[in-house]
Structure 1
Amino acid sequence: MILALSCLIGTILIYWLAKRLYRVVPRVYLTPLLVTPIAVIALIECFHIPYETYNAGSQWLTEMIGPATVALAVPLYKNFAVFKKHAAVILTSVCSGAVVAFVTSVWFAERLHLSTEIMESLAPRSATTPIAMVISDGLGGIPNITAVFVMITGLTGMILGPVVVKMFRIQGDIARGVLFGTSAHAAGTAKAFEFGAVAGTISSIAMMVTAFVTLGFAPWLIKIFS
């Protein structure tokens, strides 16, 4: 019990220190979403802490993902006029991106000759974690593996997103928000808020729409393209 509690406190402390470091040195490779899991995994391996023990203390952090996702409705409410004005463009772009992300995941999995179970775990990687895990379980995949793919997708999008924005000179908050939210869900949304409140809000909308589109069309898409 004491060890499990220590794991919880240690995880929170590492995240807090990572945030302090990122504020002082705002480099994408020092983002807390990247530094924290690496540091936690290193400590678990160093002290030979069983995963079950770590999870017993830190599981409630995972369970907070759902409420945190719902909390994104606050900036949506504050910037609803912006969403209403550009609703058609946002919804069209996000729906297209969600379908393309799902289909390409399945296509690459097939080309790499991955097992059906891994393919079904990989397919919903562009949805936010809670919904992606539900989709994976419904398709026959492994939710825990899906969570890893989701994290990798988010971190990759968060790192490459600013490069894409700079390379293609994407100036509009709507375009930036759709880019980050559709491709990198929560991690991308955190990055989008660094570009401004409007970009972050649109990103949160894009993230939620992507999740629900994937949830709704996943069973049909997996049959068509697998």
Structure 2
Amino acid sequence: MIKSIGAILLTVILYQTIKALAQRYPKLRLNPLILTTLSIIILLALFDVPVEQYQQDGRLLTNMIAPATIAFAIPVYKHFQTVKKYLGLLMIGTLIGSTVAILSTLGLALLFSLDDYLLISLLPRSITTPFALEMATEIGGVSALAIVFVIITGLLGVLISPAIFQRLKIDSPIARGMALGMAAHAVGTTRALEYGEEAVTFSTLAMVFAGVITTIFGLTFLPWLINLVL
């Protein structure tokens, strides 16, 4: 019990400290999610604590993911009229984004001659973890690798999105939310909080739609495509 409280307190304190520093020194572009994860890894290595032990002690935080995800439905409800107005655009954009994500991943994996299991595990990288796990299992990938690729994709999306928004002059919270939800799924949706409730609303919907579309695509057309190219 004491170990569990310690693991949770350590994680929360590290995250809040880095978040406060990021808000105080915005020019440093500190990312609380990435830096907290790296700090935990370093501490575990220094004190020779097994990752499994930390996961077990901090399982309460992991168990809070589901209710935290459900909470994203609140801004969707509040902005339902706006959602109705842009629903068609959202679905078309998500369909195109999901297709491009899968085909570009497949193309790059073939270009660099990746191992078959690595290639298949890489394909669900642009959807949130629950969808990615199901898809990776069904098409013959390795679920652990799929999770790693999902996390890396989400973190990279969060890191480069501000520069892309600035470069392309994307100011609309709706457009930013859709892009973050589509490209960086749950991590991106968390980042969308910085752009307001409309951004969170469309990021949540883009994340869900992308998960559904990619899963359907992955369980129908993708196995045939994989057999064709491998």
Same fold (TM over 0.5): yes
Amino acid across the alignment from 1:99: T
Q: Which moved more, 1:197-206 or 1:89-98?
A: 197-206
1:24-35 equivalent positions in 2, closer than 5 A: 24-26=24-26, 29-35=29-35
Classify 1:35/1:166 alpha carbon distance in 2 versus 1 (closer, same or farther; 3 Å). same
Q: How does 1:40-189 map to 2 (within 5 A)?
A: 40-189=40-189
Gapped regions of structure 1 (runs ≥ 5)? none
Question: Which one-letter code corresponds to 2:14 in the other structure?
Answer: I
CA pair 149-163 structure 1, distance change in 2 beyond 3 A: same
Secondary structure at 1:141's aligned position in 2?
A: coil
- 1:24-72 deviations in Å (ceiling 9; x for gaps): 2235741211111111111111111112211211234233323322221
- More deviation in 122-131 or 4-13? 4-13
Percent identity over the alignment is: 35
Which residue identity is paired with 1:222? Answer: L
The letter of the residue matching 1:126 is: S
Structure 2 counterpart of 1:203: 203
Paired residue total = 226
Cα-Cα RMSD: 1.9
Residues 28 and 159 in structure 1, CA contact (< 8 A), matched pair in contact too: no
Q: Which amino acid aligns with 1:17?
A: T
1:120–1:157 CA distance, 2 compared to 1 (3 A):
same
The structure-2 alpha-carbon separation of the partners of 1:100 and 1:126, relative to structure 1 and needing over 3 Å to count, comes to same
SS of the equivalent of 2:26 reads coil
| 1:140 Cα offset (Å) | 2.1
| C-alpha distance in 1 between matches for 2:139 and 2:60 | 26
Report the CA distance shift for 1:129/1:184 in structure 2 as closer, same or farther (over 3 A).
same
Moved more, 106-115 or 41-50: 106-115
Q: TM-score, normalised by structure 1?
A: 0.91
Structure 1 residues 92, 13: closer, same or farther in 2, change over 3 A?
Answer: same
